Structure 1
């Protein structure tokens, strides 16, 4: 009881002192571009990307599950000592288990390379890990970073928490009826399915591994090109993780605390924070880092009231008695309170807002974007609805920013336009699937195709005649340049064949030839590819004893063809002869 009272007192007083101070400090130091937005929030000047507080729970990393509410101490931790200086330990709250701390720093380093514009600090991951799971239950992880036992949040069955039906058949959370947040960073299975990463290089994406979970959390926070060095970007990212203003304040407080100094402690020696967001009657749902399906403090049975002691009714003065009042007839029950439907509730189906071909060449951007329009049952557009676009299938295509998932809010016409698709090197078909976040309605699938890199023109880079004597080698190598619609055609596949005739493209068995690795004659070269400048330089050519004019044909993917003449002729060995010299008359004697 004392601990519970202390937590509530801290939430009232300490939140004002610590969280408000952290928010103010971060606003001043990180967000010069931030302007006042809705109460308790800030948005970038001129931006409309402020988080929507009515976002569906499954549109966040955690499903808005419970979290730890304890705030850092009011005094700052000791800063990390300089190299060679004796270590000075700060408060226990400043210590982070060694493996957990290593995972946060490695995730920061990876994102510094893959998404430098995000500017993700490891202290943000540490702050989220603190409130989500108490740093993996105080560092209860093995040498590979996997928790000794799964960290599961409460059952998201709508009973005091969000309602999220099973999406993983129990693969991650062991529950085939409802979803539960999983692991040290508390991902719900539907989010982990696309956001999961392999952070420790073991070939698996395990939400209960701190390296995998920390890297996934970093990519999740950076997915919308948010810049963590700005106040607007930082707040949008944190609120997308768990859409709660209290959650935002708590994470910011711990982030600022860790920035002032922290230290590594042995794995397993950390302690769980006190207080939970689901520990106070009437508190909203929040993440539960571990424990049973229903964490302590949730759904407490109300205590029965004590029966009144029997006694006589009091008699008023004057000796008279007041007759008992007639019972008041029961009033009619008030009509039940009905919550007006949200825009998301009114969506009946999705329509393709821009039908057409969705094709791109490998390595190029798709010219057309996927557009989905949310409509009611009678076909009216619905604005302010979150549409989630997901790339599925065997493909390396991504949206702008390198992600395979993008969530876009519909505009006044009910239309959501996904970010531009960027084709990878893998060719073939894949699918872009559009879903309404927070609703279970039929998905809208777009078929997309990646075609091989191609060229429509190929020309020689020089015009020197290619000649050789029988049994010799050509002095010049053949070099060509490929283009597509006037632009450089890089990495385009090509073949080179010495053919019999212009109208007979079969391989010639005599005349010029290339050499293989063993020095044997080869007259067909496959698997050639242009370089980054669209150039292709063939190996040296040699001649046998056959003289004449021969043809080399170069063909690229896309149908570009070039035929080059090769001449093999004997050297001119005719020399001047005295008998054939021009007899000029001798001068007169």
Structure 2
């Protein structure tokens, strides 16, 4: 049997086997998964006050199928002895080389970009094991891309969520319904905003383990979740696939990998064989009970003074044909539509113009309203706000590029505050309804360069120099904008000819560039975090007199400083 066939094999289990598996999950969760407890009704809880219940297409996988194989009960051997038979524990502890490298590189990247997340690579390995058996046992090429796409089941409501196509089949090849894609099993609508380029090839490919592992890390770390806090890690895992059994399985593999792993050649990893859907892929259809005729009712006796009911054959009347018993099958009912299903369109809810300087928070928030076809507001609808494209480094507060908000009783959803990055120019914020295929609303936001409206000297000492010497004092100024510190503001310093002529002078004081050459215009200057700018040293040629130094910043702030070159007093 080929590796691919073995990987796709499903084990059909009876009720007894399912019960045994459930006991095993609970036992492993109790022994290996900190923070997972059981309440007084036998239900498992995750250490938090409430368990999130996201919509299926607002999770990483759409709550698709996953593998339920559990790790061995014995601790793994970090490095099996060469030449000896490999035990199951040693085999399970082996992670394909490229896949393992992708997990560790994702952890290193997140350590820099989101140090507060404390993401362990073993958590990515645990999810990768449960989602795809470590990319089908490491069947990837040198760049980390799977030899063939890894696709989950069709999410058409037949045993799984019903998620209509969101990518026109671009990722999953299905233009009718979505399917989870790649070694970390992202559905297309989630990959659209969560995808990352983990191997720096200029593409975001869900079938590449480097891209998928980095995307999974960022997905888990969103909302400032800290993986060193058990309840927060549990919440992140549940947002990946909203199932307590899934959580327990991932935590079991996490603890197993933490005890020791080793690298194995690509394509030789062990393959799982047990699926969360029990191999059926469908939900059983209940069979209605057979319709039975009600028991015959005895004839009612006649009361004195009242004629009795006619009986068949007594000549009083023709026989009454028996009536059909009433049907026990209830008439079909039309299900009540959910709030999301009643939404016809999105309307702007007074967003206004979105403009901010680099590094600042926008003073306005994106707000939309969900409405029915006749314009009525719809409450309790999930709206996703996404910062689109790579042309900006702006984020929502908290550092994320996507946020999901539930509409209030007025049907309004307001996105978190936008925070401008350092890239200037326009970018787009898109609002869409989660779980509904319909047109969204796009908003244009603009980031302008940092500005200063005032410049002042930090000292008042006279700036003097002898011919051919250097000025003892370096010019230092402070920039502000509307009274606040103006940090990281671009500035230019020029030795000008006169107050009325801003062209660079050809004599008098000067700066030196990196090569020691004379320059009288110095560009590329920037104020520091305190809004302070200290200019390079100034030198004087043999020309005496009074000269002017002009400093200009983005935003229009200008300061002119007087410089004097005179022979030393005798």
2:441 corresponds to 1:444: yes
Please tell me whether residue 388 in structure 1 is matched to residue 384 in structure 2: yes
Q: How many residues align?
A: 525
> Could you tell me which residue of structure 2 aligns to residue 361 of structure 1?
357
Q: How far did 1:549 drift?
A: 2.0
Q: Is the 8 A contact 1:78 1:89 kept in 2?
A: no
- Other-structure match for 2:74: 76
Tell me what 1:319 maps to: none
CA distance in 1, matches of 2:41, 2:229: 15
The answer to whether the 8 A contact 2:52-2:239 is kept is: yes
Structure 1 residue 390: deviation in Å?
0.3
- The worse-fitting range, judged by mean Cα deviation, of 560-569 and 246-255 is 246-255
Asked if 1:537 corresponds to 2:534, the answer is yes
Aligned equivalent of 2:332, options 312, 328, 336:
336
Write out per-residue CA displacement over residues 460-511 of structure 1, whole angstroms, 9 at most, x where no aligned residue. 2222211233444333222222222333322211112222332333333443
Where does structure 2 lack aligned partners over 5 or more consecutive residues? 1-8, 288-320
Distance 1:108 1:7 in 2: 40
Asked if residue 456 in structure 1 is aligned to residue 453 in structure 2, the reply is yes
Correspondent of 1:19 among 25, 40, 46: 25
Give the RMSD, CA atoms, in angstroms.
3.6
Q: Find the aligned partners of 2:515 and 2:259 in 1 and give their Cα distance.
A: 65
Describe the SS at the equivalent of 2:222: coil
- SS of 1:504's partner is coil
1:70-105 per-position Cα deviation (integer Å, ceiling 9, x unaligned): 3344x233353699xx99855243433233233223
Which one is further off, 132-141 or 398-407?
398-407
Deviation, 1:513, is 2.8
Report which stretch shifted further, 115-124 or 216-225: 115-124
Counterpart among 495, 504, 520 of residue 523 in structure 1: 520
Give the C-alpha shift of residue 334 in structure 1: 3.8
Structure 1: 5+ residue runs without aligned partners?
Answer: 285-298, 303-324, 574-589
- Name the residue aligned to 2:6: none
Q: 1:26 touches 1:231 (CA, 8 Å); kept in 2?
A: no
Q: How far apart are 1:430 and its partner, in Å?
A: 1.0
Map of 1:305 onto structure 2: none
Distance 2:234 2:515 in 1: 64
Deviations 1:286-314 (A, max 9, x none): xxxxxxxxxxxxx99x9xxxxxxxxxxxx
Q: 1:549 aligns with which of 531, 539, 546?
A: 546
8 Å CA contact 1:89, 1:263 repeated in 2: no
Partners of 2:95 and 2:418 in 1: how far apart? Answer: 40
Distance 1:226 1:138 in 2: 30
Distance 1:474 1:127, change over 3 A: closer
1:494 to 488, 491, 496: 491
Do the aligned partners of 1:31 and 1:230 also contact (CA within 8 Å) in 2? no
Kindly tell me: are residues 3 and 544 of structure 1, through their superposed partners in 2, closer, same or farther at Cα, counting changes over 3 Å?
closer
- Check if 1:480 corresponds to 2:486: no
* Residues 494-513 of structure 1 aligned to structure 2 (within 5 Å): 494-513=491-510
Shift of 1:565: 0.8
